[in-house]
Amino acid sequence: MRLVKGGVDRSAVTAVSAEDILRLQQLELRVRWLATWIIHHANNIRENRDGLKVGGHQASCASVTTIMSALYFNVLRPNDRIAVKPHASPVFHAIQYLLGSQSREQLKQFRAMGGAQSYPSRTKDEDDVDFSTGSVGLGVAVTAFASLVQDLLVCRGSLADEDTGRMIALLGDAELDEGNVYEALIETYKHDVRNTWWIVDYNRQSLDAITSDRMFSRFDDIFATAGWDVITLKYGKNQREAFQRKGGEVLREWIDNCPNALYAALTFKGGEAWRGQLLSDIGHVPGVNELLNEFDNESLSNLMTQLGGHCMETLLEAFHGIDHDRPTLFITYTVKGYALPFQGHKDNHAGIMNMAQMESFQKSLNIGSGEEWESLAGFAKSEQNNLQNYLDNVPFSEKSNRRHQTEAIEVPERGEFPCPKSDEDSTQAAFGKIMNDLARSTYPLADHIVTTSPDVTVSTNLGGWVNRRGIFSHSNQEDIFREEEISSAQKWVMSKQGQHIELGIAENNLFLLLAALGLSGDLFGERLLPVGTLYDPFIARGLDALNYAVYQDARFMLVGTPSGLTLGPEGGAHQSIGTPLIGLAQPSLTYFEPTFVDELSEIMRWGFTHMQDDNGGSIYLRLSTRVLDQPNRKPADTWVNDLLNGAYWQAAPASGAELALVYTGAIAPEAMDAYEQLREDVPGAGLLAVPSPDRLYRDWARSLRSPWTKEGEATSHIARLLAELAPNAGLVTVIDGAPGTLSWLGSVLGHRVVPLGVETFGQSGDIIDLYDAYRLGTDAILDAAATIYLSQQIKYSAATF
Ligand SMILES: Cc1ncc(C[n+]2csc(CCOP(=O)(O)OP(=O)(O)O)c2C)c(N)n1
Ligand SMILES: [Mg+2]
């Protein structure tokens, strides 16, 4: 049984008065003007300093203005959250401008630095963006996961029913080609997701071309199969009225059977072409000729293009007609470039109107020269008052600030934060123990953690956490295996209080759910601390969704485990190579690859704080299943600071030493072994542990910029550490991953580097064979050190003679 119900009053169809419909139509036309003008101004009026095309999508905007005006000016309520298709950004900003939430200056700077963004951005736009969009398909799916998060908060009692809203995506029809949409769709069915509307701007054009006719009716079936209501808004009211007249039914059939490409071509050509085609195809049917004669060419063109998505009444009726919380797909037929000179033209995606076309558009609206930015120019004074009055009372704007502020959740002090003690352990197993200890604790932190995993919960060691904190579900379900007295280490109890969301194997969904969970504080007023696990190589599967999640500043902890060749017998398909470079390159995601349990504990503690810091971000932990002997040390402040800054001397070099070994992660035993052997020949050599190449690199890069940007000190943590070495010292770096992760260290003070790492696909094997074959083992490290030693000798001899 369904226990969550959306809080919006859906009991009755709100009738919209004829007067309001007229206002909405007027506002829609103004939005279409402003969106077109914003793009025109950026391309043809604002100074262009570099000759680059500025761009913008006037046609994509025009097809969605009626839908967005109906929503924002009438249907939406403040708790509703909306993802707007990326290239409709000017429409969004124009609407915000009319609602008083966007400045003229921002519009004038559209696509310029610091101005309104080309695609809606939560972090960069000054107006009220709920979800960033840009990479098509992702903004669609994130709304479903936001709805799931909203349900979770209602179930745990953190969000009142009346404070819930609808999660709405406005998408282009070509977005329905993105596979991630269907991965999410499957999950919506499994999790009984409600309160989600996906509204398709069905203009039957993508970027390149007219979209395939063959998919026409298939979307209905696909969504219906996944439990969604599908509402198709194909005809506008005028069309439906025409169909009632003699000959009208044949006209409807003709429209239904017309191929997409022909419909688009006739739309572009206009009334005369429509008449010619219709007369030739169905003119012989009684009544058709007379029906067509009732329309002059212009009104015939209007009739044929006023599809459901351009008919305010049709849209309002449909949206207000929803009196339930079932997920709903609206297929709203539209015309790309609606009512603009290039409407229907297959090449109109990036088309921009010329000066003469803009002038004639402006004239048709009675907007005087110099009044282009005036929000209601061209209307009579009394009408302006009426419109302004309408805008001032739009329900969506009832709340002045739709973003919530939340208090930080306290993170336990060192000594209190779990740090499992054992002589030997792997970072993956220790992660599981730390989560298990947190699950057992009464720390508020533990209550705010929500974990998720795409079908690798058990194999990434989240099982203990799940046993204690349970799986989230709308209904309570005991673990059947347990009830049947079948022994298992896993206790999969599902309940409304559960703190783990189990996903099917779809990494895109993991990242989109992490995005939604990580925005929970902002969106719903309850801060959550999401932790997501997956096998490290499969980060690549959802990489764009990961980028999307952090792009909008969602905060989460991502755990990639197992990782690297060190996975051993599992083989090349599961051994990640490039993920450290992803960690290094990805903004707003801090990558750590700890070796020892005490490091992991300190990093997680720091991570939960960093995830809550205004200037913080998300965390990525690359962990391993390799069991290592654990050091017995007490975490002192200096060591912890060094660790969290990215590196510490595990064995400090003698001042002026000529060699240091540098390692990251589970390869430590080989580095330590090689170090012990080297010390005999190179007394004073150092051993540098680098648990975060990312922290280290970013700090160094910052220090290089700092003389100009004044960001922090002119020196860096790594420069301070390496300053212990002689200027001609060499570094052997080693990581179970792409060697470029550490090879940059040589640039810090000009030391020579021999970088060891993995450069070809892995394969099955034990660690001994694999490290040997890929040259990561003790011998390879010693060989690399010898190379450095030799080159130092050669240099020395060259200098002497
Ligand atoms: C993942 C991704 N691939 C490609 C693009 C480039 N792109 C931008 S819009 C678009 C097609 C849009 O067609 P549709 O969704 O139908 O929107 P319309 O402009 O017709 O409203 C493409 C391919 C993108 N933004 N994201
Ligand atoms: Mg389209």
Q: 328-387 pLDDT, tens per residue? A: 999 999 999 999 999 999 999 999 999 999 999 999 999 999 999 999 999 999 999 999
Q: Closest by alpha carbon to 457, among 424, 498, 422, 421?
A: 498
Q: Which residues pair with 753 in a beta bridge?
A: 731
CA angle 669, 674, 677 (to 5 degrees): 130
Q: Closest by alpha carbon to 81, among 15, 135, 29, 8?
A: 8
Number of the ligand closest to the Cα of 338: 1
> Is the CB of 63 inside a 6 Å radius of any atom of ligand 1?
yes
Asked if 746 contacts 754 with a C-beta cutoff of 8 angstroms, the reply is: no
Ligand 1 atom 1: residue of nearest CA: 135
| Residue 15, pLDDT score | 85
Q: Closest by alpha carbon to 551, among 617, 621, 622, 506?
A: 617
The H-assigned helical ranges of 156-270 are 179-190, 218-225, 237-244, 248-257, 260-269
Q: What is the DSSP letter of 205?
A: B
In whole angstroms, what is the distance from residue 676 CA to residue 690 CA? 18
| Residue 10, pLDDT score | 47
Ligand 1 atom 23: residue of nearest CA: 207
660 Cα: distance to centroid of ligand 1 (angstroms): 50
Task: Collect the ranges in the chain with pLDDT lower than 70.
Answer: 1-14, 794-801
104 Cα: distance to centroid of ligand 2 (angstroms): 29
Pairing of β 557-560 and β 500-503: unpaired
> Is the CB of 174 inside a 6 Å radius of any atom of ligand 1?
yes
Ligand 1 atom 26: residue of nearest CA: 135
DSSP string computed for 418-465? -----SEE-HHHHHHHHHHHHHHS--HHHHHEEEEEES-TTTTT-HHH
> Is the CB of 183 inside a 6 Å radius of any atom of ligand 1?
no
Mutate to test the pocket of ligand 1, among 68, 121, 206 (most ligand atoms within 8 A of CB): 206
- Within 677-745, strands assigned E span 686-689, 725-735
| Residue 486, pLDDT score | 85
Mapped onto helix, strand or coil, the DSSP state of residue 395 is helix
| Residue 215, pLDDT score | 79
> Is the CB of 794 inside a 6 Å radius of any atom of ligand 1?
no
> Is the CB of 207 inside a 6 Å radius of any atom of ligand 1?
yes
Q: Which two tokens stand for residue 216?
A: 């026409």
Residue 307 phi, psi (nearest 5)? -75, 175
207 Cα: distance to centroid of ligand 1 (angstroms): 6
In whole angstroms, what is the distance from residue 174 CA to residue 140 CA? 12
CA angle 29, 384, 400 (to 5 degrees): 85
> Is the CB of 60 inside a 6 Å radius of any atom of ligand 1?
yes
206 Cα: distance to centroid of ligand 1 (angstroms): 6
> Is the CB of 28 inside a 6 Å radius of any atom of ligand 1?
no
CA angle 513, 514, 518 (to 5 degrees): 120
Ligand 1 atom 12: residue of nearest CA: 206
Neighbours of 769 (CB within 10 A): 13
DSSP string computed for 599-644? HHHHHHHHHHHHTTSTT--EEEEE-----EEPP-----HHHHHHHH
| Residue 11, pLDDT score | 44
Asked if 681 contacts 790 with a C-beta cutoff of 8 angstroms, the reply is: no
Mutate to test the pocket of ligand 1, among 67, 207, 346, 543 (most ligand atoms within 8 A of CB): 207
In whole angstroms, what is the distance from residue 614 CA to residue 595 CA? 29
200 Cα: distance to centroid of ligand 1 (angstroms): 13
Residue 308 phi, psi (nearest 5)? -50, -40
454 Cα: distance to centroid of ligand 1 (angstroms): 27
Residue 170 phi, psi (nearest 5)? -105, 115
Q: Which atom of ligand 1 is nearest to the CA of 135?
A: 26
In whole angstroms, what is the distance from residue 129 CA to residue 472 CA? 29
In whole angstroms, what is the distance from residue 131 CA to residue 116 CA? 15
Asked if 205 contacts 336 with a C-beta cutoff of 8 angstroms, the reply is: yes
Q: Which atom of ligand 1 is nearest to the CA of 171?
A: 15
> Is the CB of 170 inside a 6 Å radius of any atom of ligand 1?
no
Number of the ligand closest to the Cα of 140: 1
Helical pair 18-40 and 312-320, crossing angle rounded to 10 deg = 110
In whole angstroms, what is the distance from residue 228 CA to residue 219 CA? 11
| Residue 7, pLDDT score | 46
Chain centroid offset of residue 777 CA: 39
| Residue 209, pLDDT score | 83
Neighbours of 368 (CB within 10 A): 11
Residue with tokens 């072409």: 273
| Residue 109, pLDDT score | 98
Asked if 616 contacts 579 with a C-beta cutoff of 8 angstroms, the reply is: no
Ligand 1 atom 10: residue of nearest CA: 207
> Is the CB of 344 inside a 6 Å radius of any atom of ligand 1?
no
Asked if 671 contacts 663 with a C-beta cutoff of 8 angstroms, the reply is: yes
DSSP string computed for 121-173? -TTT-SS--SS---STTHHHHHHHHHHHHHHHHHHTTSS-GGG---EEEEEEG
Q: Which atom of ligand 1 is nearest to the CA of 334?
A: 21
Number of the ligand closest to the Cα of 138: 1
Q: Which two tokens stand for residue 258?
A: 């017309």
Distance between start and end Cα atoms, the chain: 88
Q: Which residues contact 751 (CB under 8 A, 6 or more apart)?
A: 722, 725, 727, 728, 729, 730, 731, 745
| Residue 14, pLDDT score | 64
In whole angstroms, what is the distance from residue 728 CA to residue 238 CA? 83
> Is the CB of 736 inside a 6 Å radius of any atom of ligand 1?
no
> Is the CB of 205 inside a 6 Å radius of any atom of ligand 1?
yes
Q: Which residues contact 338 (CB under 8 A, 6 or more apart)?
A: 32, 62, 63, 65, 66, 305, 310
551 Cα: distance to centroid of ligand 1 (angstroms): 19
> Is the CB of 203 inside a 6 Å radius of any atom of ligand 1?
yes
Chain centroid offset of residue 172 CA: 17
Mapped onto helix, strand or coil, the DSSP state of residue 479 is coil
Q: Which atom of ligand 1 is nearest to the CA of 63?
A: 21
Q: Which residues pair with 82 in a beta bridge?
A: 168
Q: What is the DSSP letter of 407?
A: P
> Is the CB of 175 inside a 6 Å radius of any atom of ligand 1?
yes
Long-range contacts of 212-216 (CB under 8 A, 24+ apart): 212/260, 213/259, 213/260, 215/176
> Is the CB of 87 inside a 6 Å radius of any atom of ligand 1?
yes
Q: Which residues contact 407 (CB under 8 A, 6 or more apart)?
A: 527
Residue 485 buriedness (CB in 10 A; 0-12 / 13-18 / 19+): exposed
> Is the CB of 136 inside a 6 Å radius of any atom of ligand 1?
yes
Q: Closest by alpha carbon to 688, among 728, 727, 645?
A: 645
Q: Which residues pair with 592 in a beta bridge?
A: 621
In whole angstroms, what is the distance from residue 311 CA to residue 308 CA? 5
Q: 253-290 pLDDT, tens per residue? A: 999 999 999 999 999 999 999 999 999 999 999 999 99
* Type of residue at 575: Q
Ligand 1 atom 17: residue of nearest CA: 172
How far is residue 371 from each of residues 379, 389, 608, 758, measured CA to CA in Å? 12, 20, 51, 63
Mutate to test the pocket of ligand 1, among 63, 67, 87 (most ligand atoms within 8 A of CB): 87
